[in-house]
């Protein structure tokens, strides 16, 4: 991934937070017919002794991914958070110089590692419990796997296969107006909030504070 210095995010905790908050990954693998991409929720787990952790999930047994990938090749899981079009008219410096152009703001993490297939009902059940517990935590009445009939759950488990990516490196790119002067950052934040995009406004604000305090 091309990352200009302005947009580089090297902090592991920040990248891992994005993965936890936006777990739907595009998992890119090398198949017999070339590159293959699947969209899969992946649950980030901290591994003892590893600074990067692992990504765990499951796929349908009918998905050829689990039988058609190169176990020696590196895989790539792409996670993306908020994104927004940035209009040149939002920049405070536009009336002064006119030297502004449109752009697109986004935050993304690329996780690289080796893929492992786990065709083990006990492992899959634990993975389902852990992932569901985390994703349901914010609801008033969290659902758990145990809420479904046991025979129904056991039948479904036979129809899926577990996957795990042992992460060996992470790349983070936060392209959120850090290359703009403070007055443009402020005007972009204001315009984003007025246009109903408070999440991206907050990301721009946080990145600007980090830049200006660094």
- For the segment 3-18, what is each residue's pLDDT rounded down to a tens digit? 999 999 999 999 999 9
pLDDT for position 213? 58
Decide: 174 and 17 in contact? Cβ < 8 Å.
Answer: no
If you average pLDDT over residues 112-139, what whole number do you get? 96
| Domains of the chain: residue spans and CATH | 5-87+103-180 (2.30.110.10)
Residue 33 banded pLDDT, cuts 50, 70, 90: very high
Q: Which pLDDT score, from 0 to 100, does residue 69 have?
A: 95
Tell me how far apart the alpha carbons of residues 22 and 41 are, in angstroms, rounded to a whole number. 9
pLDDT at 162 over 80: yes
Residue 47: the pLDDT is 76
The pair phi, psi for residue 213, each rounded to 5°, is -95, -10
Interatomic CA distance for residues 144 and 200, integer angstroms: 32
Give the tens place of pLDDT for each residue, 173-182: 999 999 999 9
- Is a pLDDT exceeding 70 seen at residue 211? no
Task: Give the span between the Cα atoms of 59 and 187, in whole angstroms.
Answer: 44
- Return d(Cα 111, Cα 57) in angstroms, integer: 14
Point out which residues pair with 36 in neighbouring strands.
29
Displacement of CA 22 from its chain's centroid (Å): 5
Burial code of 7-37, b = ≥16 C-beta within 10 A, e = fewer? bebeeeeebbebbeebbebebbbbeeeeebe
pLDDT, residue 158, reads: 96
Residue 128 pLDDT more than 90? yes
- pLDDT, residue 114, reads 95
Q: Concatenated DSSP letters for 75-102?
A: EEEEEEEEEEEE-GGG-TTHHHH-----
Rounded to an integer, what distance in angstroms lies between the CA atom of residue 52 and that of residue 15?
A: 10
pLDDT at 214 over 60: no
C-alpha distance from residue 16 to each of 52, 195, 199, 205 (Å): 8, 29, 18, 20
**Is pLDDT at 168 greater than 80 in this prediction?**
yes
Residue 48 has pLDDT above 80, yes or no: no
Task: Write down the pTM of the prediction.
Answer: 0.92
Whether the pLDDT of residue 198 is over 60: the answer is yes
pLDDT band at 199 (very low <50, low <70, confident <90, very high): very high
User: What pLDDT is stored for residue 111 in this prediction?
Assistant: 98
Q: Which two tokens stand for residue 34?
A: 């070339």
Residue identified by tokens 């902090």 is 11
H or E element, residue 44: strand 43-45
Is pLDDT of 97 > 90? no
The pLDDT, as a whole number, for residue 210 is: 73
């Amino acid at each position: 991934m091309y990352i200009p210095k302005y947009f580089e995010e090297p902090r592991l905790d920040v990248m891992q937070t994005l993965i936890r908050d936006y777990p739907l990954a595009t998992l890119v693998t090398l198949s017999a017919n070339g590159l293959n991409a699947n969209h899969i929720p992946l649950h980030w787990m901290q591994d003892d002794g590893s600074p990067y952790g692992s990504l765990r999930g499951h796929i349908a047994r009918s998905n050829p991914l689990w039988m058609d990938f190169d176990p020696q090749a590196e895989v790539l899981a792409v996670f993306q958070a908020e994104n927004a079009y940035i209009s040149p008219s939002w920049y405070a410096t536009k009336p002064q110089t006119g030297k502004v152009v449109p752009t697109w703001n986004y935050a993304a993490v690329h996780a690289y590692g080796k893929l492992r297939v786990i065709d083990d009902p006990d492992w899959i059940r634990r993975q389902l419990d852990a992932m569901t517990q985390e994703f349901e935590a914010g609801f008033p009445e969290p659902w758990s796997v145990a809420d479904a009939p046991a025979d129904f759950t056991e039948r479904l488990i036979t129809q899926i296969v577990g996957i795990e990516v042992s992460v060996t490196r992470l790349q983070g790119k936060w392209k959120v107006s850090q290359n703009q002067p403070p007055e443009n950052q402020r005007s972009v934040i204001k315009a984003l909030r007025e246009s109903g995009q408070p999440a991206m406004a907050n990301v721009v604000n946080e990145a600007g504070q980090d830049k200006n305090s660094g």
